[in-house]
Structure 1
Amino acid sequence: MNSATRQELFACLKTVNPNPTTELEYQSSFELLIAVLLSAQATDKSVNLATRKLFAVADTPRKMLMLGEERLLDFIKSIGLFKTKAKNILATCRILEQQYNGEVPRTREQLEQLPGVGRKTANVVLNTAFGEPTIAVDTHIFRVANRTGLARGKSVLEVELKLLKVVPKAYRHDAHHWLILHGRYVCKARKPECNRCVIYHLCEYKDKTA
């Protein structure tokens, strides 16, 4: 895919969704961090159902620690891997309190040192909470990037690094959200809905459904 086609691709995505953002509900960088930690192998909808009640009583690291593991488990037990996630959340909150005065750090290196936080989670927080032009490649973005020809790669990291090189600068900040939403609702894994795809005419996927 050449640069002109990439430019047109993102222009089309912007036309249908001028201000894309995460579907996770949050009011602060801390709430976003916790929501993203909970979202691994879980839907945003299930996370939001849990965090609406959780954040009403624990919206800071200190309050989360005061809640304790047993009560935290009650709030998130409907989410997959909830026991492991609870331990990671509380361990992360201790570090935030002890090392960062209760604030979420703003560098990738610091974020990735928090329990349960990998590169993808760090990228989401950096982009959505702090406005950094990062791209968090999940299964949806990996699929869309490879299918369309936008940035083909055999690994998540390879696709991420390619996207950072080829996405036009004007679209880089929002690229993550456009691609994940497109993969979630249009370019689906089993059967992409090509009949309602705004970038159909630009896509290089050989097995289009329409």
Structure 2
Amino acid sequence: MTSRTGPTGAAAVFPTRIIDTLGQDIADGVLPEGSRLTIEGLQQRFGVSRTVVRDCMRVLESMNLIVPKRRIGLVVQGPGQWNVYDPRIIRWRLHGPGRADQFRSLTHLRRAVEPVAAALAARHASGAQRQRIAALGADLRRLGEAGLLEEFLDADIEFHTLVLEASGNEMFLALREVISEVLSGRTRQGLMPHHPKEHALLTHEQVATAIRDGDAGTAEACMGSLLAEVSEAID
């Protein structure tokens, strides 16, 4: 059996579990702002080496969840300091008591970005991108009507990611993991109806058709309508 602190197997997974445990505790407020962590205390808690703890703390520090302070230790930072676009932080927040607020914030972000991305995609998408987006629009209709939520989720993530990519705006594309997390979160936490609403299926098809046909105005309006419905559902 592989040791927790060995080079392979469970050892490769265990640091991720430490990061997830502490990240979730910070996101949930179990470790509120100002809480003090020490390397020694974490060694005892998780039963791992000092090196493993330090490596995990560097990851949390890179997300601005903690900050090292001399003669104090590792201090938990408040939400205003966090790298809120990090997909792991989004995932933790969606699994915590602030889930509704996180969904709301993410949907506001999507409403600000994705309609513009759809309009740009209608103008700038390649022929292959247009055809794939159109095919995904049809797939979403078929999978949604069949109640195949896992397959629907995969197609939905690809659809929205491809719209961002086809926009030609690299800053929009950088949000692909953020949008993937919010789409996954809705499904994984049972917030999606077993059969997606007709409005959602129709507006996906309309966005896809408009992008395929190069109709920027319709693509933007229909994506806006789609996300307005999502916002209402979350509220």
TM-score, normalising length: structure 2:
0.30
Higher strand share: 2
Larger radius of gyration: 2
